[in-house]
Amino acid sequence: MGVRAKHVFRWDLDKTYLRTEFDSVRDLVNSAIEKASDKRAFPGAAALLRSLRHDADHRICIVSGSPSQMRAVLTAKLALDGIEFDEFVLKNNLHNLVRFRFRALRSQVPFKLAALLGSRAGIIGPAKETLFGDDSEADGVIYSLYGDILAGQVSGPQLRECLNAAEAYPDQIERTMALAEHLRGSGDAVQRILIHLEKRSPTESFHHFGQRLVPVYNYLQAALVMYQDDLIDCQQLLFVMQEMLDSEEYDLHSLANSMQDLMRRGRLSQDAAAQLSLDLRAASAGAATPERAEHIELISWTFAERVKELADTNPTTWPRENPELDYVGLVEAEYSRKRSDARR
């Protein structure tokens, strides 16, 4: 039986929510033996994920390439962070190993695409979606492909060619094709894709994906996009800021610079910044203590100064329509890069 949701949020874990290293065998071993209390989330990520849960009609789905054998420790980590979720899909790498499916151990496109489509098949109605990933894997390609399949913009032959380019096994191809055929044309569901730049990839390398995909350097930027999309309010944005400030990795000026960077890139509009200024003033006026009011006023003033500095600049503009993408070429390029990295 399917479920109804107003909005679905899909999150990756490693390098998106969690600070995970898996670039070497030692990294993989360390990640596997870490206790839940040893694992660290990126500052602001937990606060944002908790904020997205404020609406009972929001659905939180986690789809990660981490092995399913780590479910217990990952679930414990999420519980420590106060994160509630509705669905948790991990890759069964033990199953892949015993079947000698070695390509499937590291290949993310066949696994994640099928997982996303399978999860969507259980949603009743036209729920919009926001997807969170990172730049260490092919999340930008996978999420965009998923959204365009739902929107009816990817044909069956195109999808099959993509899966072949991704070195998918025959049963993976047939399952994905069947799910896509069932869901194709069900609607323009993917509203936003957020890619956390864990590898500090240049933002320009994502321009070809269009305005739907937003690369972000930190979770204030992600939260500002969610605020602009009317998915969180000012108080919830303040919770994200506070978690980042408490981490001592950020100060108020670095947060204000992050907001300004988002505006320069045309990812946060002047209208949204103006509304945020009004909402921050209202939050200050309604603060529980004078100290809290002063703190929010300082945030408001510091952010307003950054906005003023952009008065004579022209931010990047983005067409409303999502561009047509050469998914076969994108997948081939991704796997060519992986093979080159493996040789090095």
Task: Kindly report, residue by residue over 114-150, the tens digit of the pLDDT.
Answer: 999 999 999 998 899 999 999 988 999 999 999 999 9
Question: Please, what is the end-to-end C-alpha distance for the chain in angstroms?
Answer: 48
Residue with tokens 């606060």: 47
Least confident window among 20-29, 206-215, 226-235, 247-256: 20-29
Domain boundaries, the chain: 3-214+319-343, 233-308
Tell me the whole-structure pTM to 2 decimals. Answer: 0.93
Contacts of residue 230, Cβ cutoff 8 Å, sequence gap at least 6: none
Q: What strands lie across the sheet with 190-196, from one edge to the other?
A: 87-91, 58-67, 7-11, 128-134, 190-196, 213-216
25 pLDDT band, cuts 50/70/90, is very low
Other residues' Cβ atoms within 10 Å of the Cβ of residue 281: 15
Question: Which of 276, 273, 259 minimizes the C-alpha distance to 222?
Answer: 259
**How much is the pLDDT for 338?**
67
Q: How many helices (H) and strands (E) does the chain have?
A: 15, 8
Which CATH class for the 3-214+319-343 domain? alpha beta
